[in-house]
Amino acid sequence: MALEIERKFLVLNDSYKSMASRSVRICQGYLNRDRERTVRVRIMGDKSYLTIKGVTKGSVREEFEYEIPLCDGMALMRMCGDDILDKCRWYVEYEGKCWEVDEFGGKLSGLVVAEIELESDGEEISFPVFIGREVTDDPRYYNSMLIDASSAPLI
């Protein structure tokens, strides 16, 4: 079983851009978004992934991710209908950890969320200057829930 241990934070400013080692555009669609599991397809550059996630309990959940052929990813993305997010992901290395900062586009333009994956649930972390309020336990900030956000109400 694969576990994802992740914490999420709102971003205070755009200093992450000058700290980032790289960025990539992500198109992410949802094939299933029920409470027990989400199934998403993601296209990042010339790669495509299929991910299944279980119920989130605090900062922990089961996650299974598989690289799939790009043509399959594009076909699955078409099956997602309007359940698609567009974002730019910035990768920031800070004190031995990689922060992933997602800058959302479209109706969520202006929303910027940083995530960090951890080795354990209680792991201590250091915070870069751009990190704001923690939203790990707020389901409104789950990517699968942001699909339903209208006019970016969380910004």
What's the pLDDT score for residue 117?
93
Among 39-53, 66-80, 132-146, whose mean pLDDT is lowest? Answer: 132-146
Nearest to 140 by CA among 129, 130, 125, 155: 155
77 assigned to some structural domain: yes
The residue ranges of DSSP E strands in the chain, in sequence order, are 3-11, 22-33, 38-44, 47-53, 60-68, 84-94, 97-104, 112-117, 131-134
Structural domain count of the chain: 1
91 assigned to some structural domain: yes
Give me the active site residues, please. Answer: 30
53 assigned to some structural domain: yes
Dihedral angle over CA of 99, 73, 144, 36, nearest 10: -110
With tokens 């800070």, the residue in question is 94
Q: Give the rounded percent of residues in the chain with a pLDDT score beyond 90.
A: 72
Encode pLDDT of 62-121 as tens digits.
Answer: 999 999 999 999 999 999 988 799 999 999 999 999 999 999 998 899 999 999 999 988
Alpha carbon distance 48, 81 (integer Å): 17
pTM beyond 0.95: no
What's the pLDDT score for residue 107?
87
86 assigned to some structural domain: yes
Q: Answer yes or no: is pLDDT of 130 > 90.
A: yes
93 assigned to some structural domain: yes
pLDDT-derived band at 144 (thresholds 50, 70, 90) equals confident
What's the pLDDT score for residue 152?
47
DSSP state of 57: B
Query: What's the rounded mean pLDDT across residues 122-137?
Result: 95
Domain of 83: which CATH number? 2.40.320.10
What's the pLDDT score for residue 79?
95
What's the pLDDT score for residue 1?
52
151 assigned to some structural domain: no
8 assigned to some structural domain: yes
Nearest to 132 by CA among 108, 155, 105: 155
154 assigned to some structural domain: no
Domain membership of residue 77 as a residue range: 3-146
Alpha carbon distance 66, 50 (integer Å): 5
